Amino acid sequence: MTVTVLSEVAAGAEDLSVWPASTQRLPHGGLAVGGVSLAEVADRFETPAYVLDEGEVRGRCRTYQDAFPAADVLYAAKAFLSRAMVRWVREEGLGLDVCSAGELELAVTAGFPPERIVLHGNAKSPRDLEAALRLGVGRIVIDGPSEIARIAAAVGPEGHQKVMVRVVPGVSAGGHDKIRTGTDDQKFGLSLTDGGAQHAISRILGQPQLELTGLHCHIGSQITEVKPYLVALRRMVGLMARIRDTHGVVLSELDMGGGHGIAYRPGEPALDLTALARRLRAELHKGCAAARLTVPRLLIEPGRAVVGPAGVAVYRVLAVKHTGEKVFVAVDGGMSDNPRPALYGVRYAPRLIGRASTAGRRTATVVGRHCEAGDVLAADVELPGDIHPGDLLAVPVAGAYQLSMASGYNLVGRPAVVAVHQGSARLLVRRETLDDFRSRDIGD
């Protein structure tokens, strides 16, 4: 496909700073990502569609590898996973962080080395643990005291499994109460303040078939400041020093989790990855020197920051309704493919694509097609005043925690995922159809 690029000055268009780096303005109001027109994607694959820029994903993987050359970077699969994503992550040299047997099995059957996989989960099912041990995952992160005996029994007296302990460091960070996981008032991990983590560590060290390789903490998501990570790291290093003093065991790994914040709209803050890497390294070496502790290998688990900015959701407008002073623009998707606005109140910056508009801007609310008043995709955003049914809207920064949390609400079906790269588009995940729902519904 040949893309004719429109200059910035001629376009007079909106800020594209949160879009994939490959994004180009086209004549007549169009946009191309990865060298492919988004309007052409909509025509070819129908809408809603999720467009994933392979080059952006790979570039962000490399950015992490460059920033943390002496660390293990694990992609957090919960943000988005597909067979293609597994391949991209593997080829870029990252490890993988999974939370279920489903994510684990998909990754391994797609060719990902199980020894480079870490299994998480606050309530691991028997199937999760069976799959992890059968496939040979590199680490299992113990999240609660009951898991110690369960894992040890599943491994058996002659078996061996490397494990880590998820510690709650007592640090509050994150973009919303529902995604803050570093304090004692939530379901994850073992508390540092009440001694739960220390007690669990003692029990694990008493299980010869379990090898405790290190500690893990995850303090929240959508974090845009470096300081909370440094506070958590100091507390984790302090605990590692106490483990050495109490048990004579020097742990070799420290996993500081992920939660690295990104900008969803122009002008919003994002975590400075270079600053994070530099200051984490400095703090780790300083703390270990003060404690006379061997510096452990650092692990980090970015998910959103790798795939979020690489995705664009494309919708078609179904209706425009004027209600008093409000304008509602209803599209052919909604909370079934992106529940995040309803869950967290997140804000997006949708943009008209596929045609140019000379109409003045006006405030509108983009809503979905579902039978919920809370089915709002973007509240109070600026859109052309002449927007009408049949128009296309594109929403950037749509790669993470949208399709991975999609549902079958109203039996609408989950959208297709289309990869774009160097001027070509291909289907990664097909659209869910009525036949899919029928095939699962076996009762009468």
Same domain, 297 and 356: no
Domain termination residue (choose one: 280, 302, 324): 302
Question: Is 288 marked active-site?
Answer: no
Residues 245 and 180 occupy one common structural domain: yes
Q: Tell me what pLDDT residue 173 has.
A: 56
Q: How far apart are CA 43 and CA 36, in angstroms?
A: 12
Whether residues 319 and 358 fall in one domain = yes
Find the CATH number of the domain harbouring 178. Answer: 3.20.20.10
Q: In the prediction, which pLDDT does 189 show?
A: 86
Q: What is the pTM of this model?
A: 0.93
Evaluate whether residue 58 is within a structural domain: no
pLDDT value at residue 303: 97
Can you name the residues that pair with 427 across neighbouring β-strands? 418
pLDDT at site 7: 40
Claim to verify: residue 164 and residue 290 sit in the same structural domain: yes
Q: What is the pLDDT of residues 273-294, one digit of tens each?
A: 999 999 999 999 999 999 999 9
Where does a domain end: 285, 302, 319?
302
Within a domain: 326: yes
228 and 328 in one domain?
A: no
203 & 72 share domain: yes
Q: In this structure, what CATH number is given to the domain that contains residue 358? A: 2.40.37.10
Q: Mark whether 255 and 137 lie in a shared domain.
A: yes
| Model pLDDT, residue 183 | 53
Regions of the chain short of the pLDDT cut 50: 1-2, 4-13, 176, 178-182
**Based on the structure, what is the number of domains in the chain?**
2
Q: Does 230 share its domain with 281?
A: yes
Residues 136 and 213 in one domain: yes
Instruction: List, for residues 61-117, the tens digit of each pLDDT value.
Output: 999 999 999 999 999 999 999 999 999 999 999 999 999 999 999 999 999 999 999
**Does residue 177 sit in the same domain as residue 292?**
yes
Q: What residues does 363 pair with on adjacent strands?
A: 382
Domain containing residue 429: 8-51+311-440
Same domain, 346 and 205: no
Does 56 map to a domain? no
Q: Which residue out of 61, 99, 288, 371 is catalytically annotated?
A: 371
Q: Check residue 185 and give its pLDDT.
A: 65
* Residue 59 covered by a domain: no
198 domain residue, yes or no: yes
pLDDT value for 444: 86
Token representation of residue 276: 């994070």
Residue 316 located in a structural domain: yes
For residues 218 and 124, membership in a common domain is answered with yes
Residue ending a domain, choose from 302, 323, 339: 302
Instruction: Give a yes or no: residue 244 inside a domain.
Output: yes
Q: Is residue 22 part of a domain?
A: yes
